[in-house]
Amino acid sequence: MPIPTSTAPLSRSLAREEVYRSLKQWIIELQLAPGEILRDQELALQLGVSRTPVREALRQLEDEGLVITSFHKWTKVAPSRLEEIIELYPVVAALEATALELAAPRLTEADLQELEAVNTALAQAIAAHAHQRATELDAQFHALIVRASQNAEIEKLLANLRPRIKRIELAHFDDQRMAPQSIQEHKTIIAALRAVDTQAAVQAIKQNWTLPPDLLQVIATAVSA
């Protein structure tokens, strides 16, 4: 898949951070596909910068698991691996369950109404087959809970994991798979919070991050293809 041609070259005065953000967005949104070779000179020309900030950005993306390298051979977008999906989702589930336990006593009626509004918008996005918008709204629902936990360390850890989650979901989860189950689990979380049943809410959010075996089999087939 080629580098997006519609991207305006960046000013040469911009630092590595701007290059990093552009490359990360292309990878997460699959404009740069899993397994695609990344050539620093080509990227530098497209972004209108020298090769140095591109190389620095690629090193940072490698640290985040979005890029892999073979020394002096190639740099490429990290492939989609079933093992990554199996390992990543339980970690996110555990972090969000802890965040919800911390958030529960702090959540107000206004917070719960906001969660309901986001979930309604998510259902509408799914009905409209707006897959990327749906993925963003699903992340927003969970981010509201995490923010209410007021735990900066959990927020920081999840902020590093969410881009990888988004890339997986855009690559493998169509709207129909995520639609009924995710919407209903969100409703269950909200209802449990309203009933001041934190443990039921925790179980629901863990379930929300549990991938059914049939979906894992579909992903395994796609990854191995």
Closest CA relative to residue 76, chosen from 119, 33, 114, 46: 33
Closest CA to 116 of 92, 99, 137, 93: 137
Rounded CA separation 168/146 (Å): 21
Q: Which tokens belong to 9?
A: 């070259």
Which DSSP category does 74 fall into?
Answer: E
AA identity, residue 65: G
Q: All domains of the chain, ordered by start, with CATH?
A: 16-77 (1.10.10.10), 82-224 (1.20.120.530)
pLDDT tens, N- to C-terminus, the chain (225 residues): 566 665 655 554 456 788 999 999 999 888 998 889 999 899 988 888 888 999 999 999 999 889 999 877 899 998 877 787 888 889 999 999 999 999 999 999 999 999 999 999 999 998 888 888 888 899 999 999 999 999 999 999 999 898 888 888 777 665 455 567 889 999 999 999 999 999 999 999 999 998 777 666 666 666 555
Paired with 69 in beta bridges are: 75
Number of residues in the chain: 225
What span, in angstroms and rounded, lies between the C-alpha atoms of 26 and 32?
Answer: 5
**CA terminus-to-terminus distance, the chain:** 17
Question: What does each C-alpha distance from 132 to 23, 127, 203 come to in angstroms?
Answer: 18, 13, 27
Spatial neighbors of 156 by CB under 8 A, at least 6 apart, are none
